[in-house]
Amino acid sequence: MIDVSNPDPVMPRSDSEILVDWRDLQAVLQALLYQGAAAISPLPRLEAIEKEALDLLKRDPDESLVILFQALADLSLGYCATHALLSAVVCELSAEKLGTAETDRRVLFRAALTMNIGMARDQDSLARQSTALLNDVQRKLIRKHPENSLAILQSLGVTDDNQLDIVRWHHEPDESCGMNSNLASRRLLRMADGFVAKMAARKTRLAMSPLSAAQSVFLGTDAEQAKLALAMTTALGFYPPGTYVQLVNGEKAVSVKRGLRASHPQVVSIVSPGGMPLNPCLFRDTNNPKYAIRSPFNAEKIKIKVNLEQVLKARPDRTA
């Protein structure tokens, strides 16, 4: 388990441990978000989580996306921390495409990790509830959570005005609120937040496909927002690593690596055209017309237990 009491821990780096590392981060971030204002030594712990997440992302961004998008489909892991980590990663990859300065990217990353600390437990409860209807208390909590998150972060000793500004106004459609210097960061976080939420399944609905989620978040954007949307789509591809597709040959596959074109990722087939599990999993390059993508496929419709370690090992150019 990662020791997040140490702001500069020594982390394992073998290929077999990257999955465990992300799962460890998800668990320790969830604990911190749940603790909220009662968290002990929160700033060194957040710094350690941020450092480890960025190290893992730099080491293998495709594998990181596989693990996080797969975790998003598993509500038993807890939704709030997975949502925070994936939103932070989406922001980081998109901001890199935009040429955003590293100092601004670090602030945005921290804001994404902590934006929902004001409703962490409730975020998990809402993800699991069996009705889509919200009561008055829930609607008020959702409306007030950026303000609640701001208050908690201030109580924990966060003094970075930029981080606090992004967290406070990350849901606000009135862009005159907040610091103008953070406008692009707030827009990007709002897009990533919405995109990840729509990609997550609920008991009351299936997850949206990446294409549908992107279209719903980016629809009706102005020129500046369209620029951010393009960067996000370029960063993730149309079929982000960790999401499912059906191939023209009938196989069902997991995207494992972004391709040179957004529409042509590398994938690993896990289900045969006849619906049987493939053992071993089979690597496919969707640039080959035999293995072209027919359509995205919902995780909830995969009727087998996916062995993620085997899927990851099937990628031939996996980072050493």
Q: What confidence tens digit (pLDDT) does each residue in 219-246 have?
A: 666 788 888 888 999 999 999 999 999 9
Letter for the amino acid at 260? Answer: L
Count Cα neighbours of 123 within 13 Å in the Cβ-side half-sphere.
26
Domain extent listing, the chain: 15-236, 244-313
Q: Give yes or no for a contact between 71 and 26, defined as CB atoms under 8 angstroms apart.
A: yes
In this prediction the pTM is 0.90
Mean predicted confidence (pLDDT) in 50-78: 92
Q: Give yes or no for a contact between 175 and 54, defined as CB atoms under 8 angstroms apart.
A: no
Query: DSSP string covering 201-258, please?
Result: -BTTBPPPPHHHHHHHHHTT--HHHHHHHHHHHHHH-SS-TT-EEEETTS-EEEEEE-
* Ramachandran assignment for 246, one of left (phi > 0), alpha (psi -120 to 50 degrees), beta (any other): beta
Domain spanning 15-236: CATH 3.40.50.880: no
Three-state DSSP class for 11?
coil
Q: Give yes or no for a contact between 161 and 111, defined as CB atoms under 8 angstroms apart.
A: no
C-alpha of 238 from chain center: 15
**With 80 as the cut, is the pLDDT of residue 202 above it?**
no
Residue 144, CA distances (Å) to 29, 117, 171, 193 in order: 22, 12, 10, 16
Q: What confidence tens digit (pLDDT) does each residue in 137-195 have?
A: 888 888 899 999 999 999 999 999 999 999 999 988 888 899 999 999 999 999 999 99
Q: What confidence tens digit (pLDDT) does each residue in 250-260 have?
A: 999 999 999 98
Q: H or E stretch including 86?
A: helix 79-98
